[in-house]
Each structure stands twice: as C-alpha cells, then as structure tokens.
Amino acid sequence: MKTGTKSILFGVHQFIWHPITVYLAWLWLNRKFPTFKETICIIIHDWGYWGKENMDDDEGETHPEFGATLAHSWLDKEDDFYHYEFCLYHSRHYARKAKRDPSKLCWADKMSIVYDPAWLYLPRAIASGELKEYRENSAFLISKDESNFAWHKRLKEIFVTLGKEQRGDAVPYMNKGDSDG
C-alpha cells in the first residue's frame, strides 16, 4: 500500500481525525466557525494523497488537485472557483508555484498539529511511513539527533509560527528541491 493511502487511512492525514484537528485550528485562528462549504473543504482537502507513493515529492505535491476538483464540482457554481482555490491553495508549495497566496485553509491545516499530541501523531506517522520522509525533509531545521518526541515538539513550534504569521514564507519550505529563491 502506498504511503499517501496509508496516510489517509491511519496516518497523519487520517480521514476522520485530521479534519477534526484542522477544524479546531480553524476555530482558534479565525475565532468563528467555518461555513458549511468550508467545512466540506476541511474534510476533503487532503483526499488527493490517496494512491501517492510519497507525500512531499513532485507527485505528492499535486495532492490538492483532487480535493479542489471535488470542491468545485460539489460547492461552486460553474463560473465560481472560490472553494476550488480554497482547497488547491491549502498547500504553500502549490500556491507558491502558482504565484498565489495560500488560502485560509493552509493556516488551519498547519496549525492542526497543535491538536495532535505526540503520543497520537507519532504512532500514526511511523505506521504509515510518513515520519521517515518528514524527518528527512525537515533535517535542515530540526536535528536528526532529536528524538521523535523532540522533533514533534519542534515541528509544532514551526507550524504555530506559520499559522500565526499567515505568510507562506514565515518558515522555510521543507520539501526536497524546493528552494526559497
């Protein structure tokens, strides 16, 4: 089974737990409930990981396209692309490549780790195979010598900064081959 599929079934992007943590982060960041349609986007935004071999390679970075396409067909009028872009640009990387600002969903998605304690996050990330990839990608920010718990704590700090600042460049990009230039 591919890593992206495992992520959705029981990993970091688990299809029940991850939307709950994103929803909680949304409430904290925005001090209001998301609309019904935004809630649907919170649920489906990462479904595009299904069938992806890796999370952060070129193929994995296309994961927002599936949720965006669903959101557009389910929630937008034909000439309206709000929910499409809301899902598509939840990825800093995708938004950056399109020369667009990340959507509000991006910040809640990153901040969701605050509601994902290490004792629950780490076993899922290990079981799905995501932890190895995520640790390799963040090695320039977080020492490889850190324990998984210390790594998770540092990652939370990084993503809290990103969520609070709500700027795509508030922290360095972690994907392989993604430069800040």
pLDDT at 136 over 50: yes
Q: What is the pLDDT of residues 27-58, one digit of tens each?
A: 999 999 999 999 999 999 999 999 999 998 88
What is the pTM (predicted TM-score) of this model?
0.89
Residue 33 inside a domain? The answer is: yes
Number of structural domains in the chain: 1
- Look up the domain containing 47 and give its range: 3-165
Residue 165 pLDDT greater than 80, yes or no: no
Spatial contact of 106 and 91, defined as CB atoms under 8 Å apart = yes
Please report, rounded to a whole number, the percentage of residues in the chain having pLDDT higher than 90.
64
158 touches 171 (CB < 8 A): yes
User: Does 48 map to a domain?
Assistant: yes
**Residue 128: CA atoms inside 13 Å, Cβ hemisphere, count?**
29
In a domain, 158, yes or no: yes
